[in-house]
Amino acid sequence: MRLAVTGTHGTGKTTLIDDFASACPHYEAVPEPYWLLAQQGVPFAGGPTSADLEEQLEQSCALVLSAAGQNDVIFDRCPLDFIAYLDVVSLREGFEWVPSGKLLGRIEAALAALELIVFLPLSRPDEISVAIEFPKLRMQTDTRLKAILRHDDLGLLGSGPPIVELTGTPAQRLRDLVAATRAG
């Protein structure tokens, strides 16, 4: 199964993926695009910008599409993460972000290549006890992702993969994720 874990920053995506990869070592865990690009020496601004997020969106699409024929891959983030961030950040920058036709086709193809999207919404009370960077952006992106995933307000998920929303403790999330991969 090819699956992606999505959510705003600081929701436990990487922790869940690490726990899942330990419990299911036959799965390949693919780090989020930001870290892969940073390892390649791609410079990023001091905070989120539309240009940086577009580059991460392109990388996310490329990663998912390159694994389209593989089984047992779990991605840290998917194109929908970056669309949500771009919607929020571009408005802060004074414009509405709209993907080009070519990019929209790549986004649709990447989503079609996934077999499951796992959404980790923000929880209340917040399970993250450390200070989170950009807390307002975090909340706004979570709100945007919820609209995208729960209501398909972009029209990208009609024939796409199922979405599973996980909440609870890290152990509960892991248990539910393992069950979802076995059911799929």
CATH number reported for the structural domain that contains residue 95 in this entry: 3.40.50.300
The answer, as to whether pTM is greater than 0.85, is yes
| pLDDT band per the 50, 70, 90 thresholds, residue 131 | confident
Q: What is the DSSP letter of 116?
A: E
| pLDDT one-digit tens code per residue, 134-157 | 899 999 999 999 999 998 888 888
Closest CA to 83 of 95, 94, 97: 97
Structural domains of the chain, count: 1
Q: Is the pLDDT of residue 125 over 80?
A: no
8 A C-beta contact, residue 57 and residue 94 = no
State the Cα–Cα distance between residues 57 and 61, nearest whole angstrom.
Answer: 6
Q: Which domain holds residue 9?
A: 2-183
State the Cα–Cα distance between residues 29 and 22, nearest whole angstrom.
Answer: 10
